[in-house]
Amino acid sequence: MSNFLLKDPDCVFIHIPKTGGTSIRKGAWSRRVQGPRFGHIPPEWDGLFRFAFTREPLDRFLSVWRMFTIGPEGDPDWSLPPDARPLSLDEFFDIVRDDSIIFDERRRTFEEKIRHHAIPQTHPFNCLRQADFIGRFETIAEDYRLIAERVGQTARLPRLHVTARGPADAEATLSPKLAAAVRDYYSDDYRFLETEVEHYRALA
């Protein structure tokens, strides 16, 4: 998504879409932020602690689909784009993997906004590997407490921008063929979560 300088206490948040980031920026830090900066972290933020969150790729894929077909809850600043339309999961995936659709700060259309939210977490645009610590959406409460202790944040983490609930089991929601295709599209994410992320789980 984009990078933010969180203020008081100061640190850098690498916001990967649909990993709980709105609760951090608008909730715990009460909008005390600078940014966003798209696709890079400014040199003037060097030296500050940087953190991000990741999420199981199939679950994240479904969450983005629900966000753009049903809408989120608990975030009055967000609404479905005016050109939104119903999409089957297969139609949605066709948009997600269409490399001809832009996803950066120039995004304007429904399709472009979908791509922005759904590109792989490990895509260089997301700057994930520039983090000092990477938490997991699945353990966000525990990992947020570690981050808060590290930077001196005393505010609790609320739940904001929660996507309307749908089927909990991604494997049961997607057809076997689509699940395999989505897994293949996010293969770098799976590889990172299986082999690299533990290097980003220790707080100095």
Give the residue-averaged pLDDT of 11-15.
Answer: 98
Q: What percent of the chain has pLDDT over 70?
A: 93
Give the residue-averaged pLDDT of 72-84.
Answer: 77
pLDDT tens-place string over residues 82-111? 999 999 999 999 999 999 999 999 999 999
CATH code assigned at 114: 3.40.50
Query: Nearest CA to 69 among 134, 22, 114, 23?
Result: 114
Burial of 2 (C-beta count, 10 Å sphere; 0-12/13-18/19+): buried
**What is the domain range of residue 117?**
2-200
Within 10 angstroms of residue 110's Cβ, the number of other Cβ atoms is 17
Distances 121 to 72, 186, 193 between C-alpha atoms, Å: 20, 8, 10
Structural domains of the chain, count: 1
